[in-house]
Chain A
Amino acid sequence: MADENKTPQTPKLQAPKPQTPAPEIEGVVLTEEQKRRRRARSVAIALTLAALCVLFYVVTIVKLGPAVLIRPL
């Protein structure tokens, strides 16, 4: 029988993938609470900066008055 002449095929052994060590987390890792507080501080700074922009804009208009729109073309 032809089938009997076949040599059993051994499964190809694949070379094991080199084990890469899990990347170590370097630096400071924030807790969830610290992340939440940092985000709140960032939002507060952003709002403060936005408010300052508005304040400077309004004061400029108040100080210059309608003259702010008069400029040479």
Chain B
Amino acid sequence: MSDVASREYDLSQTEPRPLDAPSYASVSDYIALLKPRVMSLVIFTALVGIVRAPGEVHPVIAFTALLCIAIGAGASGALNMWWDADIDAVMSRTKRRPIPAGHVTPGEALAFGLTLSVGSVLVLGLLVNELSAALLAFTIFFYAVVYTMWLKRSTPQNIVIGGAAGAFPPMVGWAAASGGIGLESILLFLIIFFWTPPHFWALALYKSGDYARAGVPMLPVVSGTAETRRQILLYTLILVPLAMSPFFLGMAGLAYGVVSGIAGGLMLLLAVQVYRRREGAPAEQAARRLFGFSILYLFLLFAVLLVEAVAPAGLGL
């Protein structure tokens, strides 16, 4: 672990401000603390969990559940930025975040994250149901404490285990709508869980210098790029049939079967390219392609599940 990864702040652009100093934070800084891009994926997958769940749920209750899940996800993002401000400051991808940029103090981010965490769990529990609130609380805890504070700086398996936090939202949505946990919601969880390693390791392959500087033990930094390519391929080999399983188990329709088959084939092809192209620009290009397509792949899978759930039965989806 490098010096940078200790809890010492060495933010060249900012001096630590006294606690009673006036805040420079704008509303957009606080929105940035919520990690809106991650939040949009959480909203989308949670929505699929809500609409796929058995039984009827009132649209207002569904909206409330979705709002709480989104705020909870944003809160854990703010807590992540509070804890990781030191390493964010040295990574090109994250150095413009509100804390390293000096717009928001770590204390402000911590207070914001804790307030929203407690608020989102309480409102979900009071207005929707207790099971979904408990799952949301566990998701926030898992992301902020288990992943951010413990795993991220201590093991190259950080994003494998930590990926569970990103996989919970459809299960929370399912629980909010049905009051239970079904096999399909577990499958949705597993799809995101096994999607996370190839997605993040593809990014880490061409950003490994960043992670090394920050002292984050990502797999390419610790075990090398060859092992990372092998692991990406292995996880993709598990992911593709797993993503097709809702069709084979009769939980999804023909459209899902076709899309998950074709997109899964492309995902596997790109993972093989990453495995085979190991040097220079072609290697980086392959990793970038896999990273970009992995986002589209997950979006397609969940979009078809969503369309199948809401489309009129007459369409045969």
For the complex, count residues of A whose C-beta is within 8 A of B: 15
B58 at interface by CB-CB < 8 Å: yes
Majority secondary structure, A binding face: helix
Bound complex: CA of A40 vs CA of B64, how far in Å?
Answer: 25
Quick check: A55 and B25 within 8 Å, CB to CB? no
Quick check: B21 and A58 within 8 Å, CB to CB? no
A68 at interface by CB-CB < 8 Å: no
Residue of A nearest to B21 (CB): A28
Quick check: B24 and A41 within 8 Å, CB to CB? no
Bound complex: CA of A12 vs CA of B67, how far in Å?
Answer: 78
Quick check: B27 and A44 within 8 Å, CB to CB? yes
B223 at interface by CB-CB < 8 Å: no
Contact of A62 among B25, B26, B30, B58 (CB under 8 A): B58
**Could you tell me which residues of chain A, from 28 to 73, have a CB within 8 Å of some CB in chain B?**
28, 30, 33-34, 37-38, 40-41, 44, 55-56, 58-59, 62-63
Quick check: B27 and A28 within 8 Å, CB to CB? no
Task: Report chain B residues within 8 Å CB of A63.
Answer: 127
B23 at interface by CB-CB < 8 Å: yes
Task: Report chain A residues within 8 Å CB of B21.
Answer: 28
B61 at interface by CB-CB < 8 Å: yes
B22 at interface by CB-CB < 8 Å: yes
Quick check: A41 and B25 within 8 Å, CB to CB? yes
For the complex, count residues of B whose C-beta is within 8 A of A: 15
Quick check: B22 and A40 within 8 Å, CB to CB? no
Quick check: B64 and A55 within 8 Å, CB to CB? yes
**Could you tell me which residues of chain B, from 1 to 39, have a CB within 8 Å of some CB in chain A?**
20-27, 30
**Could you tell me which residues of chain B, from 48 to 83, have a CB within 8 Å of some CB in chain A?**
58, 60-61, 64, 67
Quick check: B60 and A62 within 8 Å, CB to CB? yes
Quick check: B58 and A37 within 8 Å, CB to CB? no
Residue of A nearest to B20 (CB): A28
Do A41 and B27 form a contact, CB below 8 Å, given A28-B20, A28-B22? yes
Bound complex: CA of A47 vs CA of B299, how far in Å?
Answer: 32
Task: Report chain A residues within 8 Å CB of B20.
Answer: 28
Quick check: A34 and B61 within 8 Å, CB to CB? no
Bound complex: CA of A11 vs CA of B21, how far in Å?
Answer: 54
Residue of B nearest to A56 (CB): B127
In the assembled complex, the CB of A41 is this many whole angstroms from the nearest CB of chain B, namely 6
Do A30 and B27 form a contact, CB below 8 Å, given A58-B60, A59-B60? no
Task: Report chain A residues within 8 Å CB of B23.
Answer: 34, 37-38, 41
Over the window 9-37 of chain A, the binary record of Cβ atoms lying under 8 Å from chain B Cβ atoms (1 yes, 0 no) is: 00000000000000000001010011001
Quick check: B24 and A34 within 8 Å, CB to CB? yes
Bound complex: CA of A30 vs CA of B23, how far in Å?
Answer: 9
Bound complex: CA of A26 vs CA of B22, how far in Å?
Answer: 14
Pull 18 A–B residue pairs with CB atoms less than 8 Å apart, ordered by A. Answer: A28-B20, A28-B22, A30-B22, A33-B24, A34-B23, A37-B27, A38-B22, A38-B23, A40-B27, A41-B23, A41-B26, A41-B27, A41-B30, A55-B67, A55-B127, A62-B58, A62-B60, A63-B127
Contacts beyond the supplied A37-B24, A56-B127: 4 A-B pairs with Cβ under 8 Å: A37-B23, A37-B26, A38-B22, A55-B127
